[in-house]
Amino acid sequence: MQDRENAMDDLDALFGAARARPAVPSDALMGRVMADALALQPAPRAVVAPPAPPQGLWRGVIDFFGGFGALAGMGSAAAAGLFIGFVQPTGLSDLSAALIGGQIDSLSLMPSVDDLIPEVTP
Amino acid sequence: MDMPRDTTTEALDDAPDEALLVLYANGDRLAATALTRRLVPRVLGYAARLLSDRAEAEDVTQEAMLRLWKIAPAWRTGEAQVSTWLYRVVTNLVTDRQRVRHRRAATTLDDAPEVADEGRGAVAGMIEADRMAALDAALAQLPDRQRQAVVLRHLEGLSNPEIAAIMDIGTEAVESLTARGKRSLAAILSGQKAALGYEDEE
């Protein structure tokens, strides 16, 4: 039985030696396997961009004014102007009287144009 | 086929098989290289021990890897280990080939690789090579299922439950196969020892 135990020990040593010698594939085999791998590989998954919104007339108008934010600001300013014009709040007339100074009967929008006229006419 | 060895490929070398397989299925070419480098030597080693025919073992390796590439997009993570799956595929491919072989009934022990006869006084490397040749020759004499179980247990270092999953049998059957296989191997090798001239080295 001693022989048999020795044989088993030898076998274990042999297994250990065999495990320490991994198979070395040939370059040809590695090439064949790599060729298969690349041939069967799915194409890289593309990052899909979200569909572009339809480009209409309004989109162009909104972009012209600088986007929705700017347009909203302009809209609220216009609404406020319209409101003040209709309501004519008393506080506001006092403020304009204080700034401009009393009732305005005539207002010269181009004050220098009178000075120009005599020079033009011979 | 040269890929730049940068930090990315080194990171891939540390990644688990399954992660690499997912990367491969997503089109990562470096993952294909990393998987090939890692798995082909193991698959070839196992196939070569089962078949003791290098060319046939290479064909089986390519076929097993081909099946891995094909299943990669449908791979269900967490269900099976990639290596276990591959061992199973190789075992089945080899079994199919051996069935054909047995049907032909042409291969007998005459075709077993010759054990070199220059053991006595040869250099250490040569002796080692002789011993490996003797092991391969002895393995070739085992019944197919015993050889599969012994190689998976003692040369691939797998656990009995893993081998049971690979061979589609119970763990008791694995234990029985490995025990019988090992006994037969020891008997074959101790018979050859005299011929190789190793008994006076101890």
Residue B4 and residue B102 in one domain = yes
Residue B124 sits in the same domain as residue B178: yes
| Cβ–Cβ under 8 Å, residues B183 and B175 | no
Q: Are B144 and B175 in contact (CB under 8 A)?
A: no
CB B84 within 8 A of CB A52: no
Cα–Cα distance for residue pair A114/A120, rounded to 1 Å: 10
Tokens 């054909």 correspond to what residue?
A: B100
Of residues B29 and A101, more confidence is placed in B29
- Which candidate, A51, A114, A77, A24, places its Cα nearest to that of B41? A24
Residues of A in contact with B33 (CB under 8 A): 34
Let me know whether B54 and B89 are in one domain: yes
Look up residue B78 and give its DSSP letter: T
Distance separating alpha carbons of residues B102 and B38, to the nearest angstrom: 32
The total domain count for chain B is: 2
Locate B139 and state its tokens: 């393995």
Cβ-nearest to B27 among A24, A29, A45: A45
Please give, rounded to a whole number of angstroms, the shortest distance from the CA of B44 to a CA of chain A. Answer: 7
Above pLDDT 90, what percent of chain A?
Answer: 18
Size (chain A), residues: 122
Higher pLDDT, B43 or A74: B43
Contact B51, B57 (CB under 8 A): yes
Q: Are residues B55 and B84 in the same domain?
A: yes
Mutate to test the interface with A, among B154, B158, B188 (most CBs of A within 10 A): B154
Q: What is the structure's pLDDT at B124?
A: 42
Task: Output the pLDDT for position A54.
Answer: 63
Q: Which CATH number is B197's domain given?
A: 1.10.10.10
Listed residue (B89, B99, B88) closest to B167, CA to CA: B88
Q: Between residues 25 and 84 of chain B, which touch chain A (CB distance below 8 Å)?
A: 25-29, 32-33, 35-37, 40-42, 44-45, 48, 58, 61-62, 65-66, 69-70, 72-73
B174, B92: one domain: no
Shared domain for B138 and B59, answered yes or no, is no
Contact list, B193 vs chain A (CB under 8 Å): 10
Note the pLDDT tens digit of each residue in A13-50: 889 999 988 889 999 999 999 999 999 998 876 666 66
Of A14, A32, A43, the CB nearest to B62: A32
Domain shared by B5 and B101, yes or no: yes
Provide the angle, in degrees to the nearest 10, between the axes of the packed helices B7-14 and B29-51: 50
With H, G, I as helix, E, B as strand and everything else as coil, classify residue A58: helix
Q: Quick one: B115 and B193 in the same domain?
A: yes
**pLDDT tens per residue across all 202 residues of chain B:** 454 444 466 778 889 999 999 999 999 999 999 999 999 999 999 999 999 789 999 999 999 999 999 999 999 888 889 999 999 999 999 999 988 887 776 545 455 444 444 433 334 455 777 888 889 999 999 999 999 999 999 999 999 999 999 999 999 999 999 999 999 999 888 876 655 555 544 4
Per-residue DSSP letter, B47? H
Chain B residue with the nearest C-alpha to that of A19: B155
Mutation pick from A14, A19, A21, A27 vs chain B, by most beta carbons of B within 10 Å, is A14
Q: Is the confidence at residue A84, as pLDDT, over 70? A: yes
User: Residue B45: closest CA among chain A residues belongs to which residue?
Assistant: A23
- Mean pLDDT value of segment A115-119: 64
| DSSP, res B154 | I
Query: Closest by alpha carbon to B27, among A50, A46, A49?
Result: A46
> Which of B36, B155, B185 faces A37 most closely, judged by CB atoms?
B36
Q: Which residues of B touch A37 (CB under 8 A)?
A: 24, 32, 35-36, 65, 69
Interface probe for A, chosen from B30, B39, B184, B190 (most Cβ of A below 10 Å), is B190
> Which of B134, B54, B150, B183 is CA-nearest to residue A14?
B134
Structural domain boundaries enclosing B8:
1-106
What is the domain-level CATH number for residue B40?
1.10.1740.10
Nearest to A25 by CA among B16, B47, B70: B47
Place of tokens 């290596």: B83
Domain shared by B96 and B3, yes or no: yes
Amino acid at B187: A
What is the rounded CA–CA span in Å between residue B129 and residue B126? 5
Q: Does B153 lie in the same domain as B89?
A: no
Exposed (0-12), middle (13-18) or buried (19+): which is B171, by Cβ within 10 Å?
A: middle
Query: Are the C-beta atoms of A61 and A70 separated by less than 8 Å?
Result: no
pLDDT, residue B202, reads 40
A38 vs A91: which has the higher pLDDT: A38
The last residue of one of the domains, among B106, B128, B150, is: B106
- Residues in Cβ contact with B177 at an 8 Å cutoff, skipping those fewer than 6 apart: B145, B146, B148, B149, B150, B169
Cβ-Cβ contacts under 8 Å, A38 against chain B? 29, 32
